[in-house]
Amino acid sequence: MMKAVDVEGRRILVRGTVQGVGFRPWVYRLAVEEGLSGRVRNDARGVTIDVFGRPGPLEAFLRRLGTEAPPAALLREVREETIPAEPLAGFAILPSEGEGSRRVSIPPDLATCAECLHEVQDPADRRHLYPFTNCTHCGPRFTIARDVPYDRPATTMASFPMCPACRREYEDPLDRRFHAQPVACPDCGPRVRLLEPSGGTVVEAAGDPIGTAARALADGRIVAVKGLGGYHLACDATSPAAVRLLRERKKRDEKPFAVMVRTLDDARTVGRLDLAEERLLASVERPIVLVRQRPGSGLAPEVAPGNPLVGLILAYTPLHHLLLEAAGRVLVMTSGNLSEEPMAAGDPEALERLSGIADLFLAHDREIENRCDDSVARVIAGKPTVFRRSRGYVPRAVPLGRPVRRPVLACGAHLKNTFCLAAGDEAWLGPHVGDLDNLEATRAFEEQVERLQRFLGIRPEVIAHDLHPDYASTRYALARPEPVKVGVQHHHAHVMSAVGEHGLEGPVLGLAWDGTGYGTDGTAWGGELLLVHEGAFERLATLRPLRLAGSDEAIRQVWRVALAALDDAFEGAPPLERLRLFDSVPARDVAVVRQMLARGLHSPLAHGAGRYFDALGALGLARGRATYEGQVALEWNLAADEAESGTYPFDLTEEGGLLQADLRPLVRALVEDLVAGLGPHRVSARFHEAMADVAAALVRRAAAQRGPMPVVLTGGCFQNARLAEGVLRRLHRDFDVRLHGEVPPGDGGIALGQALVADAVAGA
């Protein structure tokens, strides 16, 4: 019997992602191992642990709490206080406190953990080669959830009654599968099967469907693979013929395909990785990570035409591991859809929509309830920046610095749409829906909104939307029954999404650079420096606008924007005959567009920084057309020589209190370089340095007038690592500069900002 004087008590409050990730059972096991008594429970903000025992084991417990937590747990804060010892026997997992727990009850999907993978690869294990192996540390979550609370009967696992062996694991607090809702084994769980595209006849169910699919892939065929959040289309990434075939059938222009590898070692053979990139690749969220392709990687050039980056993703389900192992090669793993439609998730839907693309379907009988695309991220300035926030992150909450006054639904932008629900001191971004250009996408958007409202038990009272009257998301917002609607300026929302992500308080200087967003004066903004304080903003600075001849046509026919920039900079007399870009543009087209520009006919003014990347990229690369929006800007970015540090001049002017960066000197100097024969890589680098100079000058001028404030860099242009790092380097010594992290800088992150602005406006 322990003497009472030897026993001490501690209360430990843990904040962060600690619910639904196997944290409480893990705490239980830790306490049992250290011979401590006490209890653990979920509370509204995280987990509370009361623990009792001798000082030595208590110390060991605390140390291990900080260093050995399960892979999916994210400990933001651990606070410890001494409490009176209690004469308890044993350690208990207490039921959740009712209030507050509902909203955190469905965790995101998590990549297969090392222990499960080990079992799948172990011939002696009962889950050897079983493609649906999972535990409390890994496996599907959100994508199989039908309702709350998140319990097996409310998931698509309801139709698989547990066998006695699985049930024992599920009920044993000392087991890794204690309360793992999707627990399954070959005796009781889902099974794979191979289907034919026409009619979905089963080709192979017993036998070795994964092996057969792998052989088809090795033969250059295209296989639709049912993943966690939807179907992928897979093919041999090293075979130019196979990748070309996939591109043709998918009607996919030149957008890069993601490539899946099995291990980090495999990833290192394809990409040049630094430590931060390796960590991001191997994180439980398992996003597609954009990395530099290694020369001699063996990838077919058709995977990412003209692009030095490659989107790499590590296998994140046992099915992926088994398929990659059997195929013995790197696979293209791209969303199962036709060009811009949402990813196919249901079996009948996939068979119908993908039957013209895939030769075979590697399917299974666990239904996907919630469509969820792969997330996409890149390391910028040494830290992960999420470009597309979906599987692995959704529906994890974004903690807010200050609670919202009333529940809000923010409907997001038009392209790369996500929406946002906010209530209390948390906000939830929905899964990536994509461009709301077609009926499929709009329907998916509406379904997802309904579903997340239900899962979170949120009934919004305030509806936020973009100011653009033609966005499908705006029309949806205006048709909602709730009476309180708030239109939020696009760049104001971008800035507030960064403010919200970082929990900043008080006014900030927000540099919001993107392609386009509806301004309060009805013109297209996108080179803005805003002074933002919650629901209010002031436009401090912008870029000298360019005319978009033919409006939307200029977005793909980028030579039109180049011509606009040249005519502006050279007062109508640019040396077109000395610029390679215009070798490929018929003189008649040039004449027509010139007239449009001169008369301002169908040629609205646009302030977007992205337009300068388009225009000067077109000039520098001598490339007049893009096959998708932003392609030329992206290629121009990636062309930049890492060693070149030259720059170009520009002017700052001020009119009616609005500061404007006049980039005509930049355009003239850049043209001079091109005419003198300087290569595009160095010209691109100088252009990037110049744009970073412009950004820094605008911020410094504004700060001199308005006083020092934190600075946020937001908008799609800050997915450009060279630009983001350049601006950061120029400002970080004198300012608190914030880039985006888990909330995308592009339009996929805008809904969070909309929600915060609407809350401030409607609540005032």
Nearer to Zn ion (CB atom), residue 324 or residue 569: 324
Nearer to Zn ion (CB atom), residue 13 or residue 188: 188
β-pair type (8-17, 74-83): antiparallel
d(CA 59, CA 317): 36
d(CA 166, CA 184): 6
Q: Could you say which of 185, 194, 436, 619 contacts Zn ion (CB under 5 A)?
A: 185
- Selection from 500, 701, 523, 522 nearest residue 607 by Cα: 523
Nearer to Zn ion (CB atom), residue 177 or residue 686: 177
Nearer to Zn ion (CB atom), residue 175 or residue 538: 175
CA 695 and chain centroid, separation = 25
User: Which range of residues in 20-28, 81-89, 116-124, 586-594 is near Zn ion by CB under 5 A?
Assistant: 116-124
Provide φ and ψ at 554, rounded to 5°. Answer: -75, -15
CA angle 598, 603, 605 (to 5 degrees): 100
Task: Examine residue 166 and tell whether it contacts Zn ion (CB under 5 A).
Answer: yes
**Cβ of residue 281: shortest distance to Zn ion, in angstroms?**
18
Task: Examine residue 30 and tell whether it contacts Zn ion (CB under 5 A).
Answer: no
Q: Could you say which of 13, 92, 93, 188 contacts Zn ion (CB under 5 A)?
A: 188
Nearer to Zn ion (CB atom), residue 316 or residue 476: 316
**Cβ of residue 262: shortest distance to Zn ion, in angstroms?**
17
- Selection from 433, 247, 220, 240 nearest residue 339 by Cα: 247
User: Which range of residues in 135-143, 280-288, 445-453, 639-647 is near Zn ion by CB under 5 A?
Assistant: 135-143
**Cβ of residue 140: shortest distance to Zn ion, in angstroms?**
11
d(CA 496, CA 530): 11
Tell me the site size for Zn ion, rule CB under 5 A. Answer: 10
**Cβ of residue 313: shortest distance to Zn ion, in angstroms?**
19
Q: Could you say which of 137, 152, 416, 490 contacts Zn ion (CB under 5 A)?
A: 137
User: Which range of residues in 39-47, 111-119, 508-516, 709-717 is near Zn ion by CB under 5 A?
Assistant: 111-119
User: Which range of residues in 36-44, 108-116, 608-616, 699-707 is near Zn ion by CB under 5 A?
Assistant: 108-116
Q: Could you say which of 73, 104, 113, 411 contacts Zn ion (CB under 5 A)?
A: 113
Nearer to Zn ion (CB atom), residue 314 or residue 456: 314
Please give the structure tokens belonging to residue 242.
């196979």
Q: Is 457 left (phi over 0), alpha (psi -120 to 50) or beta?
A: left
Task: Examine residue 163 and tell whether it contacts Zn ion (CB under 5 A).
Answer: yes
Task: Examine residue 117 and tell whether it contacts Zn ion (CB under 5 A).
Answer: no
Task: Examine residue 127 and tell whether it contacts Zn ion (CB under 5 A).
Answer: no
Provide φ and ψ at 195, rounded to 5°. Answer: -115, 155
d(CA 174, CA 183): 15
d(CA 471, CA 42): 41
Nearer to Zn ion (CB atom), residue 77 or residue 187: 187
335 in Cβ contact with 373 (< 8 Å): yes
Task: Examine residue 73 and tell whether it contacts Zn ion (CB under 5 A).
Answer: no
User: Which range of residues in 27-35, 132-140, 488-496, 609-617 is near Zn ion by CB under 5 A?
Assistant: 132-140
- Coil, strand or helix at 236: strand
Q: Could you say which of 187, 219, 552, 583 contacts Zn ion (CB under 5 A)?
A: 187
Q: Could you say which of 116, 423, 449, 496 contacts Zn ion (CB under 5 A)?
A: 116
Residue 637 contacts by C-beta under 8 Å, 6 or more apart in sequence? 613, 617, 684, 688, 720, 721, 722, 723
| The amino acid at 81 | E
Nearer to Zn ion (CB atom), residue 321 or residue 539: 321
CA angle 105, 106, 112 (to 5 degrees): 130
Largest CA distance in the chain: 97
CA 32 and chain centroid, separation = 39
Nearer to Zn ion (CB atom), residue 171 or residue 187: 187
Binding site for Zn ion (CB under 5 A): 113, 116, 135, 137-138, 163, 166, 185, 187-188
